[in-house]
Amino acid sequence: MTAADEELQAKIKALQDTYKANLGTRLDEIDAALDTLRDAGGANGEELHALLALVHKLTGSAGTFGLAAVSDVAGDLEALCSSLIEAGTDVSGDLDRMAVLATDLRKAAETD
């Protein structure tokens, strides 16, 4: 491996470390969005769209940084949010499932 390759690998590792260090904040934002959705009574409105935006970003970025388990669980939550938005129905019956997925996200972050 050349010096340039080693330097590139070190930079990638630093980016991965920074991403992992900030992952807890992203998960906190998802939890807060879920709490806001719950406080809104599970209405299918901007609260659900906000949650979808957060998990969509996490799905892609976690995959980019090699956190496959986090990306997979975030993708499951993203798919659930998307299907609920498309259906246009009240989401109160799915809040427990969303909370389980949010918990699973934290577990995945600990193991990835």
- Each domain of the chain, given as residue ranges in start order, spans 3-111
Task: Assign 43 a pLDDT band (cuts: 50, 70, 90).
Answer: confident
For domain 3-111, give the CATH number. 1.20.120.160
Q: Supply the mean pLDDT for the chain.
A: 95
Give the per-residue pLDDT at 1.
Answer: 80
| Confidence class for position 89, pLDDT limits 50, 70, 90 | confident
Report CA-CA distances (Å) from 10 to 2, 79, 98, 101: 12, 34, 37, 33
Name residues whose C-beta falls within 8 Å of residue 10's C-beta, 6 or more positions apart in sequence.
Answer: none
Rounded to whole angstroms, the Cα distance separating 17 from 73 reads 20
Q: Which is it for the CA torsion 67, 73, 75, 81, positive or negative?
A: negative
- Taking CA atoms, 94 is separated from 14, 44, 74, 99, in Å, by 38, 11, 16, 9
